[in-house]
Each structure stands twice: as C-alpha cells, then as structure tokens.
Amino acid sequence: GNSVTQMEGPVTLSEEAFLTINCTYTATGYPSLFWYVQYPGEGLQLLLKATKADDKGSNKGFEATYRKETTSFHLEKGSVQVSDSAVYFCALRRLSSGGGADGLTFGKGTHLIIQP
Amino acid sequence: DAGVTQSPTHLIKTRGQQVTLRCSPKSGHDTVSWYQQALGQGPQFIFQYYEEEERQRGNFPDRFSGHQFPNYSSELNVNALLLGDSALYLCASKRWGANYGYTFGSGTRLTVV
C-alpha cells in the first residue's frame, strides 16, 4: 500500500536558518506529491505540489523536488521566519485506474518551531 | 467566497453513542472527502463522496458511514463510539477529477469519554 515517512519533530531553528524536512514515500505507479501546512486551530493548506518525476514545486520560498529514483520529496527553505512555525505534512495521491482519485496519504507531520 | 465549513467545532460524546458531523464544501466543488486526524498524527483517509455516492473508502470499519446531499454538502456518521474515535475530523472538498486543489475545513474536534 501507499505510505509516507517524514522526519520526526519538533524541529527547532533560529530565524534565517536553512530548513530541510525529509520525506520519502512508497507507492505503486506515479503518485502526485504534496506538502501541506497546518497552523494552530486551522485546516490544512496546500503549500506546494509536484505531479511527475523531476518536477520542482515552490511557494513562499519553500521548494521540493520529486525524486523518483530515491522516492523522496524533501522540503527546503533557504531562510526561515518566525511566521513559518507550523506543522508540515508530506502527502501523496495516486490516481486510480478508473479515472477517479485515491484519497491523500499523509505522513505523521513535522512540527517546526522558529525562534527569533 | 466561503471555503469549507464544518460543524460543530467541538463535540463531546459518551462511549457507545452515535455522532453526526457536517460539512459544506467550497463553492464550485462537488467532491467531499473525510479524514480522521488523531493527536500528533497525520490525517487518515476515511472516504470520498461524489454524486451522492461513496466512491472510495479507506481502512475504516463500517461504524463510519457518510452521506452526500444534492447540494454537495456531506455528513459523517460514527456509530457505537469508542474512546479511540477521539480525534480531529477534517472535511476536504474539490472538483471531481482534479489532481489537486483540495480545500480543507478547520475540522471538528470529537472527544469520546
């Protein structure tokens, strides 16, 4: 079955530090990959996506590259801010053969804490 | 333009009871999915509804059932509640066939005592 593994948290960094959150996946076929962010008391928001191998998703300074050879989708940001403090989820979605869509499979989440 | 609306926000139920959670999708969306997010865990897919039919189901027992109405809104029902059903229940909507573009609600926090 499908699964997503991401690094355990919490991850604590100082403002302007470089961020990497590792994510690896197991899936048949060619899934689409996503990073979602969840701020306290809010629902999940799509941060970025990649739908095929070697695609790079980017948004708000965050980037992640779909690496099929290593089945990875690591999240990176060059200089984090206090406002980036949140829980980050890596997820995948595999299209079913009938043309419909499988539900999202999420990792357990990584709590990121940025200190001033 | 309203996003996904879920009600109630919080709910406390007793073990063995039944509960109904409600979701109104984002305007223009016709597909609704439900997820269970236990504390400290990622969301787990429960099921997805489109055209008032359950289209796909995750690994959840039959105690979890749902319904979609002609206006695309949806309900999640859980019977014979267990303590382990305590979680944040998230509703997500999108257009059928879209590969991404899910919009998530803020969730209903269910506590079973």
Kindly determine whether residue B99 and residue A93, on different chains, have CB atoms separated by under 8 Å: yes
B-chain residues near A97 (CB < 8 A): none
Nearest residue in A to B90, CA atom: A43
B105 interfacial to chain A (CB closer than 8 Å)? yes
Is the pLDDT confidence value at A113 over 90? yes
Helix (H, G, I), strand (E, B) or coil at A4: strand
Q: How many whole angstroms separate alpha carbon A21 and alpha carbon B37?
A: 21
Amino acid residing at B67: H
Q: What would the pLDDT profile of A51-76 be if each residue is shown by its tens digit?
A: 999 999 999 999 999 999 999 999 99
Q: How many whole angstroms separate alpha carbon B69 and alpha carbon B73?
A: 5
Q: What is the mean pLDDT of each run of 10 residues along chain B (113 residues)?
A: 89 98 96 94 94 93 97 98 97 87 92 98
Question: What long-range pairs does A56-63 form, CB within 8 A, spacing at least 24?
Answer: A57/A33, A62/A35
A-chain residues near B41 (CB < 8 A): 108-109
Kindly determine whether residue A42 and residue B106, on different chains, have CB atoms separated by under 8 Å: yes
Give chain B's mean pLDDT: 94
pLDDT score, position B110: 98
Kindly determine whether residue B43 and residue A106, on different chains, have CB atoms separated by under 8 Å: yes
Instruction: List Cβ neighbours of A73 (8 Å cut-off, separation of 6 or more).
Output: A23, A24, A25, A33, A35, A50, A64, A65, A66, A67, A90
- For chain B, give percent helix, strand, coil, nearest 5: 5, 50, 45
Q: Measure CB to CB from residue B105 to each of A43, A100, A107 and give the nearest one.
A: A43
A:9-48 residues touching chain B, CB 8 A cutoff: 32, 34, 36, 41-46
B-chain residues near A96 (CB < 8 A): 56
Q: What would the pLDDT profile of A74-94 be if each residue is shown by its tens digit?
A: 999 999 999 999 999 999 987
Pairing relation of β-strands A56-59 and A62-65?
A: antiparallel
B-chain residues near A42 (CB < 8 A): 106
The two three-digit tokens of residue B87, written as one number: 């979680």
Is the pLDDT confidence value at A12 over 70? yes
pLDDT score, position A98: 54
Nearest residue in B to A51, CA atom: B99
Nearest residue in A to B57, CA atom: A103
